[in-house]
Amino acid sequence: MIEKALKGGKGYRAWLLFLLAVAAAGFLSYLHQWSHGLSITGLSRSVSWGLYIANFTFFVGVAASAVTVVLPYYLHSVKEFGKITILGEFLAVPAVIMSLLFIIVDLGRPDRAFNLILYPSPQSLLFWDMIALNGYLLLNLFIGWSTLDAEVKDEKPLPWVRFLILLSLPWAVSIHTVTAFIYQGLVARPLWHTPLWAPRFLASAFASGPALLILMSLLIRRITRFDPGCGAIQKVATIATYALLVNIFLLLVELFTTLYGGVPGDVVHLRYLFLGIDGHHALVPWMWLSMVLIGGSAGALLTARLRRREGVLALICAAIIVGVWIDKGLGLVVPGFIPSPLGEITEYGPTLPEVLITTGIWAFGVLIITLLYRIAIYVKLQEAE
């Protein structure tokens, strides 16, 4: 099956070459970081996590969102998802790989990463995140591969694959819950120390992940003969709609609790985010953009006239992805550190090397999804004939 991914026309090869070039630029930038240390980033003593961890958080969510198609199809026999499910599973694989890569490039001493295994620390959420993410990666790789393999050989999938599929459902929820717990458990950071992040993460993940899946599906329908199905796409859009509404609701709950209570230590982080403090307002325009994108997408999704036009739907999905990425990435990680425990405000902005490494990892993820989708689509098209 793998050989199918490597053969293709000029356009396909040009695409792969482009992705490799962007990934290579990122890799070179990473070598620069390897030799000079993380001083090449915009991070500081106060804001010690930034673009890398923001991306890690977002892509764990995308990985977890595979459950939104897997659960209806395998547990509730929603036959309409027959073609889109493999796309969802194979979206989870590069998403997890990207999350892991973002953690690795954020480490000060990645050469010591093996210490995570040599000295297991079950009291640390990062330990559990490592287990959850790697386990989920293996699960999805195996499930996707064995179901495709069974189709190629025109057989039924092995019986215990169904068990693994069922396992992947709570596992998907757990990877994002563990990620939220990384933040939620810290008493030092009032913005993070609230129970709402786990449900909010899942809600925003189940909006942005399906949005990405819809974009992928529309693109695939355009450039290949594979059609996941209008009905499937609309159903996935429905899931994204409800998830987005829940996300907005939870945001409003968060805003009310913090602002009505008015505890200065809690309010100050939101004030920095949405209004700025003492002339420091780097994130303000981003946050309002995010709110407009999320709110606007929700409204548009609720309007059947807009939702059913696939050109508009694509735009809505792009808006959801960007809006959630800002809200969950920059809007969560950076303001947690501003102001610092000593009341200082040190703003953060990524540097060019940091952005290059980030886009390099994105390109690598897109490369993997290109290869996986090509194999999946080939098998599905063969099966249809």
Partner 1 sequence: MTRREFLQLLALSGFGLVAPAGMLKGEGTGKKTPKKWAMVVDIFKCAKKEGCTECIEACHRIHNVPNIPDAGRQITWIWTSPFDALFPEQPAYVEALRGRQIMALCNHCENPPCVAVCPTKATFKRDDGIVMMDYHRCIGCRYCMAACPYGARSFNWQDPRPFIHAIDKGYPTRTKGVVEKCNFCDERLARGLVPACVDACKGTCLAFGDLNDEQSAVRRLLGSRPAMQRKPELGTRPKVFYLLA
Q: Binding to partner 1 (CB under 8 A): which residues in 153-172? A: none
Angle, helices 125-152/84-106, rounded to nearest 10 degrees: 150
User: Using the rule CB under 8 A, is 336 a contact of partner 1?
Assistant: yes
User: Using the rule CB under 8 A, is 119 a contact of partner 1?
Assistant: yes
Q: Binding to partner 1 (CB under 8 A): which residues in 249-308? A: 264-265
Of the candidate residues 230, 255, 344, 382, the single one contacting partner 1 (CB under 8 A): 344
| Stretch of 148-156, 185-193, 203-211, 234-242 lying at the interface with partner 1 (CB under 8 A) | 185-193
Give the separation between CA 257 and CA 263, rounded to whole angstroms.
10
229: left (phi over 0), alpha (psi -120 to 50) or beta: left
Sequence-distant contacts of 44-47: CB under 8 A, at least 24 apart: 44/346, 44/348, 45/346, 46/337, 46/338, 46/340, 46/344, 46/346, 47/334, 47/337, 47/338, 47/346, 47/347, 47/348
User: Using the rule CB under 8 A, is 121 a contact of partner 1?
Assistant: yes
Of the candidate residues 2, 17, 187, 304, the single one contacting partner 1 (CB under 8 A): 187
Q: Which is nearer to partner 1, 145 or 348 (CB)?
A: 348
Q: Phi first, then psi: what are they for 300, rounded to 5°? A: -65, -40
| Stretch of 16-24, 89-97, 180-188, 359-367 lying at the interface with partner 1 (CB under 8 A) | 180-188
3-state SS assignment for residue 170: helix
Give the separation between CA 162 and CA 143, rounded to whole angstroms.
9
User: Using the rule CB under 8 A, is 106 a contact of partner 1?
Assistant: yes
Q: Binding to partner 1 (CB under 8 A): which residues in 24-63? A: 36-39, 41, 43-46, 48-49
Amino acid at 343: G
User: Site size for partner 1, by CB under 8 A?
Assistant: 46
154: left (phi over 0), alpha (psi -120 to 50) or beta: left
User: Using the rule CB under 8 A, is 185 a contact of partner 1?
Assistant: yes
Q: Which residues would be at the binding site for partner 1 (CB under 8 A)?
A: 36-39, 41, 43-46, 48-49, 103, 106-110, 112-113, 115-116, 118-119, 121, 123-127, 130, 182, 185-189, 264-265, 336-337, 340-344, 346
